Amino acid sequence: MGKNLEKRLDEVYENYKNGNISRRDFVKFVGIAGASLGIMAGPSGLVSRAFAADKSITCHSWGGTTSEALRKFAFDPFTKSTGIKVIDAAFTGMDAFLTQVKASIPPGGEFNIAHLSAVYDYARYTDLGFGVALDEAKIPNLKNVMTKMTETLRKISKGTLSAVPYDLGQTGIAYNTDKISKEKAEKLGASLLYDKDLKGKIGSWGGDFRTNMWYAALHTGQSPNNITDEKAVWNALKEQRGLIKKYWASGSELMSLLANGDIYATVAWSGRVAALQKQGHPIGYLAPDGTYSWMEYMYVLKGTNLDVAQQLLNFMLEPAASIAVAQGQNYPTSLDPTKIDMPEDVKKLPAFDPTGKLDGYLFADPAYWNAHQLDWAEKWDRIMAG
């Protein structure tokens, strides 16, 4: 029976190499059969052979211009250099993706690298045990990443890294410069989003309670990571509800509303603002003290071939690749501009920090926001619905 099972294993292995079965199904089959034969580390070396011969790795990202930039400037050049194929896939939604990861066997079995955003997701995946401990010696370009970004992640994963920061963004405030002066915008700061003179011309992101509570906290003079007067925040959001023209649902809708003059002020992703500015629209960008800042990072999921992942991550952090991706997706690279020279178009991107220190850039406290997620998300949905 052992001989027949080994023969069957060889057949499954050949089908896996030829792409006829998925990595997940292969790992599941080998796990069951290996328990019977005791071959997981035995002389046949089937698992070692399979993973050593693995010539692909999957990266889930955001689709659109982001995935196009990654494909053109990072993934395809990496494949040309190494022969390892990078399969790029788009999220169907962050909650849906997490559900898929939870269902994979082993965790990360068919999900390798995720282009996640915001430190609370780093904490969420790490707390669930889906992270890895990267061998930083095999990612030498990591030394060029802004220290605040790597240290923010280290604090969550107790000194190790499960991801490498890749780009920097903000959810700041976009405003129509033909309708709102720079002086007024800077004077009001976060309160621009609550200006009664702009009734019917204000927008906000309907899909995220954090963003809306964040700016309500700033408007009411509170720290978004330590809201002491929650009632004031909810009252501000209720009041703002009567000023809102539209709660937008996507980046493309955000850009359309601003470009067409349907709204004059809104919370906005810095990369989308950069795209509008490049297109010649009269859109200014405001980053008041405490602006909602976030990093995007390449999170390596448990069950991934670390040698391949680390090789890809180091390649992606090469200045030429990282800067080209930044130019393509309109978000500054995670590379420290005091260590790596940046071209002028990257320096002009909203959220770019020439000092590399990120002083004044406020990231969401993952423990704080994750602890309130269910309650606050439900309350926000009721307010948005009117």
The predicted-structure confidence for 339-378, as pLDDT tens digits, reads as follows: 999 999 999 999 999 999 998 889 999 999 989 999 999 9
> What is the structure's pLDDT at 386?
85
- In which residue ranges of the chain is CATH 3.40.190.10 found? 56-168+295-363, 170-293+366-384
More confident residue, 91 or 293: 293
Q: Assign 91 a pLDDT band (cuts: 50, 70, 90).
A: confident
Residue 93 predicted with pLDDT over 90: no
The pLDDT of residue 360 is 81
DSSP assignment of 170-215 equals EEEEEEETTTS-HHHHHHHGGGGGG-GGGTTSEEEETT-HHHHHHH
pLDDT for 46 equals 46
Tens digit of pLDDT for each residue in 266-281?
999 999 999 999 999 9
What pLDDT does 55 receive?
Answer: 83
Q: Report whether pLDDT(258) > 50.
A: yes
Cα–Cα distance between 194 and 209 in angstroms, integer?
Answer: 17
Q: What is the mean pLDDT of residues 209-222?
A: 97
- For the chain, the C-alpha Rg in angstroms (whole number) is 23
Contact present, 186 and 179 (Cβ < 8 Å) = no
For 56-168+295-363, CATH gives 3.40.190.10
Instruction: Give me the helix-helix angle, 319-329 and 306-316, nearest 10°.
Output: 70
* Span 156-171, average pLDDT: 96
Residue 17 pLDDT more than 90?
no
Q: Are 71 and 88 in contact (CB under 8 A)?
A: yes
pLDDT at 5 over 60: no
**What residues pair up with 200 in beta bridges, in sequence order?**
none
pLDDT of amino acid 94 = 80
Confidence of residue 95 (pLDDT cuts 50, 70, 90): confident
Counting residues of the chain whose pLDDT is more than 90, the rounded percentage is 76
Residue 116 reports pLDDT greater than 90: yes
Residue 23: per-residue pLDDT: 52
Does 30 score more than 50 pLDDT?
yes
pLDDT exceeds cutoff 90 at 260:
yes
Torsion angle in degrees (nearest 10) through CA of 121, 122, 127, 128: 70
Distance CA 125, CA 167 (A): 19
Cα 343 from chain centroid (whole Å)? 23
Q: What is the pLDDT of residues 31-79, one digit of tens each?
A: 555 544 444 433 344 444 444 445 899 999 988 888 999 999 999 999 9
Q: What is the pLDDT at residue 118?
A: 83
Which pLDDT value is given to residue 61?
Answer: 93
Q: What is the pTM of this model?
A: 0.79
Which has the closest alpha carbon to 23: 55, 45, 1?
A: 55
Q: What is the mean pLDDT of residues 88-108?
A: 82
* Superfamily classification of domain 170-293+366-384: Periplasmic binding protein-like II (3.40.190.10)
Q: Supply the pLDDT for residue 69.
A: 94
pLDDT digits (tens, 9 = 90+) for 307-328: 999 999 999 999 999 999 999 9
Residue 380 has pLDDT above 70, yes or no: yes
Inform me whether the pLDDT recorded for 197 exceeds 80.
yes
Which residue's structure tokens are 């294993």?
9
At residue 8, the pLDDT reads 59
Helix 147-156 with 119-127: angle, nearest 10 deg: 30
Strand residue runs (E) in the chain: 56-61, 85-90, 113-117, 163-176, 202-205, 244-248, 265-269, 283-286, 292-300, 362-363
